[in-house]
Structures are given as structure tokens and as C-alpha cells.
Chains A and B, each alone.
Chain A
Amino acid sequence: MDFHLKLVVPSDPRFLSIARHVVSEVSAICGLPDEARQGVTLALDEAVANVIRHAYKNRNDQEIELDCQANDERIVFRLLDEGEPPDPARICGQPLDDVSLSGRGTHLMRAIMDEMSYKQTSGKNELRLVKNLPRAQVSPAGG
């Protein structure tokens, strides 16, 4: 079963819980087990938080587009924003050799998701996060 869902949230931390809820439910519909679902929710939360903090410099009046496209094999999440482009080094994630506080969000995304990539699309920043699904796990309608 293929589906596409799109959500636009304000760049306001108060709306992170809404994004998490949507991602969690999408993951459940796609049949991800609980631990993987929690991980994907965390990864997307970190991604949206990074957009708020770094792309929009904590401005709460901007928009973040969360696009979810799923099929039997994978869920592809895309985050689009019109803020400042990220530092390529930050996208790569930092080594966790010490107790530094920065970069752990990106590290979490890389550790949890199967693919992570960035590009610019029509003047917007696009972060693409992919989670592969266990075989044939999309729940039937109404499930």
C-alpha cells in the first residue's frame, strides 16, 4: 500500500509534539515495531528541532514542511524549510568521543535511520530520512 502525507508545522517548539505524533502514527500504519517506531519518532523530532534552531535561528514564525511517502518497502520522510542552509559538517554528525553537547541530534538521526541526505530543492533546504520496513508490514485499512 502506497500513501503520501504532508504536514506543515510552525517553527515553534510547541508543535514538536504534533510532528512526533504524526510520525509515530505513520510508522505504526507501516507496521514498524514499537522500538523502531520510537526511534523514527525521535529521529524526526531531532530533525525538526534542528531546523528550528539552526535553519530558522529559533524564529517561531516560519514554516517547516514534513512530507511522508510510504510503500511496502520504506518510509521516506522529507523535511523542507526556507531557512539558512546547514553546515555540511553538521549534517555529517560529530564523533561522540566526549561529552560535548552539540551534534548529538544529528548523530541520533544517522544511528536510527537507514538513509540520510541533504540537498537544496527550489531554493529550500531538503533533508531526506529513510526507514526501511520489515517485509510486508503495512497494516490493513482500519487496523
Chain B
Amino acid sequence: MQRTMAASTRSAGEITIVDLVGQIDLGSSPALRKTLLNSLKTTNHMAINLGGVSYIDSSGIASLVEVLKEAQNTKKRLVLFGVGGAVFQVLQLTRLTGIFEIAQTEEQVLHG
């Protein structure tokens, strides 16, 4: 299991996809926030792939929320996909499942 967090960005048509892997905690969430906000500047539709995230805490969720707010403020679309058990559990416990657009798969993001 990857201990640190890593992010990579790719494009699929007009959609920017950010693939995240590893563990997101107080140590890595500032870098996550910065990466996502920078990526959002260059696109109108961003999808965050959480399929490789093995752990996330409230600081990681806070980073996602902050990026969502920025997307909403700039009239851009943000979608999460690959939301596995550990990530979904934290979203549920923090009662934030309803504020994000969540897709099951990348396929749904691209063609949904």
C-alpha cells in the first residue's frame, strides 16, 4: 500500500482527470489542495479519481470541499469517481456525500 500521496493529471477530451493514489492526511492534504486548485484553473470540467486512495481523513475531505467551492464559484464542474469504501465511509460520517457529484466509474464521467 502506497504510504504517501501522489497525483497525476491527464486529459480526456475536455475533461481534466486527476488521479490520486496513496494516503491523504494532514501531511499531504495541503499539497493535494494546491494540485487540485491549480488543475481547476485550466479546465471547466474536472474529475478526481479516488480509486487509488487507501486512506483519507477530514483534512483531505476539507481540501476536496474547498476545491468544490472554487469550482462552484467559477461555474465549473467537479466530479469524484472511484470512491472506495474507506473514502466513502469518511464522506458518510462527515455527511458530505450529498454535496459532491459522484460517479461510479471513469466511463460514467466521460459518457454520463
Contact = CB atoms under 8 A, between A and B. Distances in A.
| A and B physically associate | yes
A55 B96 CA distance: 27
A104 B89 contact: no
A85 interface: no
Contact of B26 (A38, A42, A49, A96): A49
Contacts of B69: 99
Interface in B73-112: 85-86, 89-90, 93-96, 99
A57 to B, nearest CB: 13
A54 B55 CA distance: 22
Contacts of A52: 26
A45 interface: yes
Contacts of A99: 65, 69, 96, 99
A101 B70 CA distance: 14
Interface string B23-53: 1011110000000000000000000000000
Contact of A112 (B23, B55, B93): B93
Given A49-B26, A99-B96, A105-B59, 19 more contacts: A13-B25, A17-B25, A35-B89, A38-B86, A39-B89, A41-B55, A42-B89, A45-B25, A45-B57, A96-B95, A99-B65, A99-B69, A101-B62, A104-B62, A107-B93, A107-B94, A108-B93, A111-B93, A112-B93
Interface of B: 3, 23, 25-28, 55, 57-59, 61-62, 65-66, 69, 85-86, 89-90, 93-96, 99
